[in-house]
Amino acid sequence: MMTALGDPTRREIFERLSARPSPVGELAASLPVSRPAVSQHLRVLRDVGLVRDEPAGTRRIYSVDHAGLAVLRTYLDQFWSRSLTAFAAHAQREETEDDANSD
Amino acid sequence: MMTALGDPTRREIFERLSARPSPVGELAASLPVSRPAVSQHLRVLRDVGLVRDEPAGTRRIYSVDHAGLAVLRTYLDQFWSRSLTAFAAHAQREETEDDANSD
DNA sequence: GCTCTAGGTTAGTGATAACTTACCGTTAGC
DNA sequence: GCTAACGGTAAGTTATCACTAACCTAGAGC
């Protein structure tokens, strides 16, 4: 999922979809890559649950999947809380060492 | 920054650092890649502001940079709010179209 | 001061993946 | 029913990048 957003083009696509759901052709027209390339990127994004697609006549409207975005946010928050905990533990240890030095 | 976390090995390193600040050797010992590879990954992470390093004798202790993590969270939240706005606009449009159909 | 440890750097290599071209399926409109 | 538009798929190519091996630098301890 993070790997999916690692690619700049894919991030750009995801960014545009977050602003407005769009069909494939519209995305490809405003991007420096071909339409098949966009299709492949969308497939990757869909496979990891970051976007959804909905048929609309002969077109498919892609939009960001809020559930996937929530997973991503939760994933990041884990880093956040864990690093804070580690930092607190580090501070605690520093303090203990200071106590040891003070005698 | 997102590109930096796109690589699985780099994510693994970042994950371990979020649990506990560590020197390079310790990271390399518990990873399936060589020490220079870890050094290169750490350089990338440091350049985008996701980790900090602090000299400790002959070693360097790496730890996650909370500022960088905050930037990342803000970046994700933009997607979140924007997609919600787009979704609301979509719903509004649907409703308007329903109104148009109802007469 | 010499050695040993820890780690950053460079050059070269191999594998991954993003991209294009060509092709095929599907739906809407005449 | 035929045609055109939209889009997904496959094969092939190229470029990026992660990795290793070799080398160099700096601090610590005897």
Q: Which helix (H) or strand (E) holds A22?
A: strand A22-23
CB of A20 less than 8 A from some CB of B: yes
Alpha-carbon gap, residue B87 to A18, rounded angstroms: 9
Buried b (16+ CB within 10 A) or exposed e, A55-68: eeeeeebbbbbeeb
pLDDT at res. B10: 98
Distances (CA, A) of B2 to A83, B36, B76: 18, 22, 10
pLDDT at res. A87: 75
Share of chain B above pLDDT 70, in %: 87
Contact at CB, A5 and B7, closer than 8 angstroms: no
Residue B27 has pLDDT above 50, yes or no: yes
ipTM of the complex: 0.88
- The DSSP letter of residue A31 is S
Task: Indicate the residue type of A65.
Answer: D
Alpha-carbon gap, residue A76 to B72, rounded angstroms: 8
Task: Indicate the residue type of B81.
Answer: S
pLDDT tens, residue by residue, A13-51: 999 999 999 999 999 999 999 999 999 999 999 999 999
Residue A84 has pLDDT above 60, yes or no: yes
CATH number assigned to the domain with residue range A4-64, chosen from the 4 options 3.40.50.1700, 1.10.10.10, 1.10.150.120, 1.20.1630.10 = 1.10.10.10
For C22, nearest residue by CA–C1' is A36
- The full set of domain ranges for chain B reads 4-64, 66-103
Per-residue pLDDT, averaged over A41-63, amounts to: 97
Residue B95 has pLDDT above 70, yes or no: no
Mean pLDDT of chain B: 89
pLDDT at res. A86: 75
Residues 59-88 on A with a CB inside 8 Å of B are: 63-64, 66, 69, 72-73, 76-80, 82-84, 86-87
- The DSSP letter of residue B62 is E
**Which comes out higher in pLDDT, residue A92 or A67?**
A67
